[in-house]
Amino acid sequence: MRKIKHPKIGEYVLLTKWRDKDPEDPWCLTFLEYYFEAVDGFFYKGEENERLYNHCFRLTKEEGHEWMENSK
């Protein structure tokens, strides 16, 4: 899993509020709907999620499955 600034729309990603990827903080495993750059950084939005997140990480399906298992 690695942090990216310019993901492809529709890419499977982990979106987080903070860069430390703490499972107790707001996060979302989703397909990227859109992102934009503002004065204070990048913002990312996933499909079927109204929240904007500050950090985006590219991951594989296996990493996503592992993330879901470890966050329970």
Q: What is the mean pLDDT of each run of 10 residues along the chain (72 residues)?
A: 88 91 86 93 92 92 85 69
Q: What was the pLDDT predicted at 72?
A: 64
- The domain tally of the chain equals 1
**Domain interval for residue 59:** 2-70
**Pick from 55, 64, 12: nearest CA to 35:** 55
Q: What angle do CA 3, 37, 28 make, to 5 degrees?
A: 45
Q: Are 53 and 26 in contact (CB under 8 A)?
A: yes
**Pick from 24, 30, 25: nearest CA to 57:** 30
Q: What was the pLDDT predicted at 51?
A: 93
